[in-house]
């Protein structure tokens, strides 16, 4: 009789497990920002969280740190239906700035369960810095010719980023299409549609990382060149 009872209990547990597997998740079409910087003053200054509820319900969304502890609550017991959208500005529940790192999103749907979204959010406020920068020439001639002004700047950054070239603090080239640790920027000496006149100039090169953090102006690599 005991063996029979064990077999019945095992069969029941198996049936319940299989039934749970067949149940559809209350959430679908989830989307989470991969990386953002609250300090960048750009489009990636907040993390976007979005999902679709299969049926209306009371939803609580929490941001968890690496230890699975609650950092902040974005919505507590809000009745949601259809597409649900949330924004995280990188603040903790006390209003302090959260530390750089990876965070998870927990979504609890009343009368359903708690879901841990598969994608993590990286909070990154550290800007890329220049490890090296070099120009192919420092003196240029205004004599007529196909390549009368041609500048190539080789660079290496401390992290993958979009490179940007500046002249007198003004952006003249970039950001580049791809974010790389190293590369070469080619510039034809034209600013606002015109070649620069004779004189001494200072080029600056910096980067903008995936989170949107730009290299601070004081930390850009500066390269002097002369047009004569």
- Which tokens is 1 given? 């009789």
In angstroms, rounded to a whole number, what is the distance separating the alpha carbons of residues 46 and 98? 12
- pLDDT per 10-residue tile (average), the chain, 228 residues: 43 40 73 96 94 92 96 92 94 96 95 89 96 88 63 93 93 90 90 87 94 95 88
Cβ–Cβ < 8 Å for 125, 91: no
Q: Give the burial string for 4-39 (b: 16+ CB within 10 Å, else e).
A: eeeeeeeeeeeeeeeeeeeeeebbeebebbebbbbe
pTM for the model stands at 0.79
DSSP 88-115: E-SB-TTSPBPPSEEEEEEEEETTTEEE
Residue 203 sits at the vertex; the CA angle it makes with 198 and 205, to the nearest 5 degrees, is 160
pLDDT of residue 228: 80
| Cis peptide leading into residue 143 (ω within 30°) | no
Residue 181: CA count within 13 A, CB half-sphere: 3
Domains of the chain: 25-123 (2.60.40.4070), 130-227 (2.60.40.4070)
Q: Give the burial string for 129-154 (b: 16+ CB within 10 Å, else e).
A: bbeebebeeeebeeeeeeeebebebe
pLDDT of residue 189: 83
Give the Å distances, CA to CA, from 46 to 1, 177, 220.
Answer: 62, 22, 25
SS3 211: coil
- Which tokens is 44 given? 């990636």
């Amino acid at each position: 009789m005991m063996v029979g009872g064990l077999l019945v209990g095992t069969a029941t547990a198996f049936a319940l497990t299989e039934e749970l597997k067949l149940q559809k998740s209350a959430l679908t079409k989830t989307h989470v920002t991969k990386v953002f910087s609250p300090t960048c003053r750009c489009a990636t200054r907040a993390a976007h969280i979005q999902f679709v509820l299969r049926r209306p319900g009371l939803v609580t969304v929490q941001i968890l740190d690496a230890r699975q502890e609650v950092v902040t609550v974005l919505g507590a017991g809000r009745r949601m239906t259809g597409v649900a959208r949330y924004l995280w500005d990188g603040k903790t529940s006390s209003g302090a700035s959260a530390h750089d790192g990876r965070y998870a999103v927990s979504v609890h749907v009343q009368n359903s369960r708690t879901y841990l979204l598969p994608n993590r959010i990286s909070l990154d406020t550290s800007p890329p810095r220049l490890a090296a920068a070099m120009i192919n020439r420092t003196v240029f001639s205004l004599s007529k010719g196909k390549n009368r002004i041609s500048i190539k700047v080789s660079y290496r950054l401390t992290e993958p980023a979009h490179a940007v070239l500046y002249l007198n603090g003004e952006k003249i080239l970039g950001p580049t299409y791809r974010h790389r640790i190293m590369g070469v920027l080619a510039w034809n000496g034209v600013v606002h549609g015109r070649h620069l006149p004779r004189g001494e100039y200072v080029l600056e090169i910096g980067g903008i990382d995936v989170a949107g953090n730009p290299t601070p102006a004081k930390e850009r690599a500066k390269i002097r060149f002369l047009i004569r």
